Amino acid sequence: MTENYSEHLPVLLSETIQGLSVKADGKYLDATFGRGGHSRAILALLSDNGRLLGLDRDPQAIKTGLALAAEDPRFSIEQANFSELSTAVHSRLWQGSVDGILMDIGVSSPQLDDAERGFSFMKDGPLDMRMNPDAGISAAEWLATAEMDEIADVIKTLGEERYGKRIARAIVETRDETPIITTKQLADLVDKASPSRDKFKHPATRTFQAIRIFINNELEELTTALEQALDVLAVGGRLAVISFHSLEDRIVKRFFRDEARGDDLPSHFPITVDQLNPRLKVIGKAIKASEDETRLNPRARSAVLRIAEKLA
164-175 and 183-193 helices, crossing angle to 10° = 130
Contact between 130 and 138 under an 8 Å Cβ cutoff? The reply is: yes
Among the listed residues 220, 215, 218, 209, the one whose alpha carbon sits nearest the alpha carbon of residue 155: 209
What is the rounded distance in angstroms from the CA atom of residue 167 to the CA atom of residue 187? 11
- Whether residue 18 is annotated as binding a ligand: the answer is no
What is the rounded distance in angstroms from the CA atom of residue 51 to the CA atom of residue 124? 40
Q: Which H or E element spans position 40?
A: helix 37-43
What is the rounded distance in angstroms from the CA atom of residue 39 to the CA atom of residue 34? 9
- Whether residue 202 is annotated as binding a ligand: the answer is no
- Whether residue 274 is annotated as binding a ligand: the answer is no
What is the rounded distance in angstroms from the CA atom of residue 76 to the CA atom of residue 91? 13
- Whether residue 111 is annotated as binding a ligand: the answer is yes
The contacts found for 175-181 with CB under 8 angstroms, 24 or more apart, are 175/143, 175/144, 179/140, 179/144, 180/127, 180/140, 180/143, 180/144, 181/126, 181/127, 181/140
- Whether residue 275 is annotated as binding a ligand: the answer is no
Query: What is the CB neighbour count within 10 angstroms for residue 230?
Result: 18
- Whether residue 38 is annotated as binding a ligand: the answer is yes
- Whether residue 119 is annotated as binding a ligand: the answer is no
What is the signed CA dihedral for 288, 293, 299, 305, rounded to 10 degrees?
Answer: -20
> Residue ranges for the binding site?
36-38, 56, 82, 104, 111
Residue ranges for the binding site for S-adenosyl-L-methionine?
36-38, 56, 82, 104, 111
